[in-house]
Structure 1
């Protein structure tokens, strides 16, 4: 084992959207930032790749929106398709860019901002007098203790790092997803929206097809309530077979069947866990902040998490910049900022009942076709100006017949 390295201002574990966004903000402010990830730059990430308005806002703050949009596939609507085949196109500022490209761009932006990157695996936190003062990192066969005034854990949905840091409150995920890429130039211009499909065949989840750049499409299925909570942070997977749900989606939804029929699957279908609703982990302890999907930054109901991962990473950076020398004040500010987001996450959790009861999607689509006001409210959910939970509450459902 090598001797402890000279201290950094901030050590960030995980170079996904949360970690890279945090690193860029801190490094641009002049802090000494070391960003590490166990994977080399350009690693793949299982995701729907959809960039909804919150992601656009975060990218704009990072100064990266124009660069991302030069590479991404712009999209103007989310197509909501119900079990009976009804459809409503909800307008929004949207785009699709594979995570392999997005994450590489975000990491490079962090490095351009002044952060240093190393490929290393987080083993455990370093602690002194009850405070985290760095981390034990493994680089190949070498293990080194790296000291830092602050450690930010942005390690995604897999709970291993959270557990090692003593921050994990739920070991099982909130949800699971399966996706693949299909190259189908024949369907360019035919599938143009972010298509989200609810049906009994994919219950208790949903299917999607998102148009990506260069004649590719992201196709997948997600289940955002996949594990039973057995208490004590443990859980058991429900009777959910993602491959069977994917096959049912393709069999039931003709555009998906056509995509798989005329297109070429690029690589394998891949699955991944989701951590949602800002639950499942402690957010802070002395010297350490947890951010991004490690903190549960993915929305239940939609499974969208890229924008909120970047947002929580920047909130962590803001807290550290506001209180560079005051541990308690920095942690209090960060926790308060996440608590301010929590009601929004809870509303998406309420809206998650659509996945368990797809007929609710039929009802919403039916009424939205007759009500410009309701369609505007649905667009507001995308833009985070409307309450998604109210759309499927008893009061919200009763209002559908009055609008």
Structure 2
């Protein structure tokens, strides 16, 4: 293949402790594994590294909405994921006054521990090599990234590559080490736990998202997972503020919000009462709206949540992480030239940016839960409004328009 040949032609013998590769991908989550699978299927020599061993846990809501299904279908892994996942037919939107509307969609739940294992195995099956190692720094020559310094066990090794792709998630350490971090604080934060409660199977069947004064300025969720388990958590999508040029965490205590959530929302209270908490509640940072990091520099691309691929308002990021990872792979396959490959990737992300900004606009629901009551009330009365909500899931409707002044006015006249 010409692209592979052009990548290989730039590699030279360096005496590194690890053989060189065409593309070194750091991070074996959804973005990194998706990028690795697409490249490896095209014959590119890919090395995929992660500081954790395969099967590591990841704090996440675990919901797979339509964009995740589409990405998995392109990767050829949808059937394998759905064989393991809990299929779900609706998102249940619950407002502060108890109003509810069920929005249909292609949905499922699979714990990230299992999903990431499927994606990593898919990359390896396509021919990608995997190593457990931690990114320490980028290697540079003549102003271009030409590989990375990795810590593997107690030794530090150098890997030379034509390209490095950072898919290292929301923690900014690797971004900072590579000189790509523009914002060290997260956009939001989430807290998640797993509860085993076979007694609740059949009682909670939707991806339930709850807005309430008790969880303001965030939201709560309960998602049915496989084998009688449930993913329960709370998220705050605007957890930090800029003051005097510094980003500071707002006065937000997720554990307190979680306790208020399971007290205020009766199904959550019942779930925690009859179920068994599996492990501990775990928190994690979130990076939204394709912001907070440089997307490229010569020889290096940033993808997935490291690039801010999670939506604000909903906190969903699995599908967009895979999508951005595949955009990175597509750019590298289409262009041997560094400048053109970077430009193609940045153009792909820029094309997604308006969607993220619209979700940022819809984020006002989390700060003003009464807006959820209003939209739910109208959706129960208007099939057209319900279709628009379904369109938000399918990315055919503008979520920001629904809760804008114009959108709210339209609710009363449809």
User: Aligned residue for 1:191?
Assistant: 204
User: Aligned residue for 2:378?
Assistant: 367
Report whether the alignment pairs 1:247 with 2:293: no
Deviation of residue 231 (structure 1)?
6.5
User: Aligned residue for 2:5?
Assistant: none
The answer to whether the Cα contact below 8 Å between 1:18 and 1:310 also exists between their aligned partners in 2 is yes
Q: Deviations over 1:216-263 (max 9, x none)?
A: 00000000100112466x411101000000000000000000000000
Deviation of residue 6 (structure 1)?
3.5
**1:3 and 1:328 mapped to 2: Cα distance?**
27
**1:332 and 1:385 mapped to 2: Cα distance?**
26
1:46 equivalent among 59, 62, 68: 59
User: Aligned residue for 1:401?
Assistant: 412
**1:171 and 1:385 mapped to 2: Cα distance?**
32
User: Aligned residue for 1:313?
Assistant: 325
1:236 equivalent among 248, 263, 269: 248
Flag the 1:327–1:231 CA change in 2: closer, same or farther, 3 A: farther
Deviation of residue 3 (structure 1)?
3.4
Aligned to 1:207, the other structure's residue is in SS state strand
User: Aligned residue for 2:350?
Assistant: 339
User: Aligned residue for 2:7?
Assistant: none
Aligned to 2:20, the other structure's residue is in SS state strand
User: Aligned residue for 2:33?
Assistant: 20
The answer to whether the Cα contact below 8 Å between 1:4 and 1:147 also exists between their aligned partners in 2 is no
TM-score with structure 1 length normalisation? 0.98
Deviation of residue 7 (structure 1)?
2.2
1:268 equivalent among 259, 262, 280: 280
RMSD: 0.8
Report whether the alignment pairs 1:84 with 2:97: yes
Deviation of residue 297 (structure 1)?
0.1
Aligned to 1:146, the other structure's residue is in SS state strand
User: Aligned residue for 2:396?
Assistant: 385
- What does 1:144-183 correspond to in 2, within 5 Å? 144-183=157-196
The answer to whether the Cα contact below 8 Å between 1:9 and 1:150 also exists between their aligned partners in 2 is yes
The answer to whether the Cα contact below 8 Å between 2:222 and 2:232 also exists between their aligned partners in 1 is yes
Q: Deviations over 1:285-343 (max 9, x none)?
A: 000000000000000000000000000000000000001x2000000000000000000
Q: Deviations over 1:85-124 (max 9, x none)?
A: 0000000000000000000110000000000000000000
**1:207 and 1:273 mapped to 2: Cα distance?**
16
Report whether the alignment pairs 1:280 with 2:292: yes
The answer to whether the Cα contact below 8 Å between 2:365 and 2:403 also exists between their aligned partners in 1 is yes
Report whether the alignment pairs 1:256 with 2:264: no
Runs (4 or more) in structure 1 with deviation over 4 Å come to none
The answer to whether the Cα contact below 8 Å between 2:16 and 2:160 also exists between their aligned partners in 1 is no
User: Aligned residue for 2:75?
Assistant: 62
1:203 equivalent among 211, 216, 220: 216
Q: Which runs of 5+ in 1 are unaligned?
A: none
Q: Deviations over 1:8-50 (max 9, x none)?
A: 1000000000000000000010000000000000000000000
User: Aligned residue for 1:329?
Assistant: 340
**2:217 and 2:142 mapped to 1: Cα distance?**
47
Deviation of residue 4 (structure 1)?
5.1
**1:162 and 1:180 mapped to 2: Cα distance?**
28
Deviation of residue 275 (structure 1)?
0.2
The answer to whether the Cα contact below 8 Å between 1:207 and 1:221 also exists between their aligned partners in 2 is yes
2:366 equivalent among 355, 365, 370: 355
Alignment: residue pair count: 400
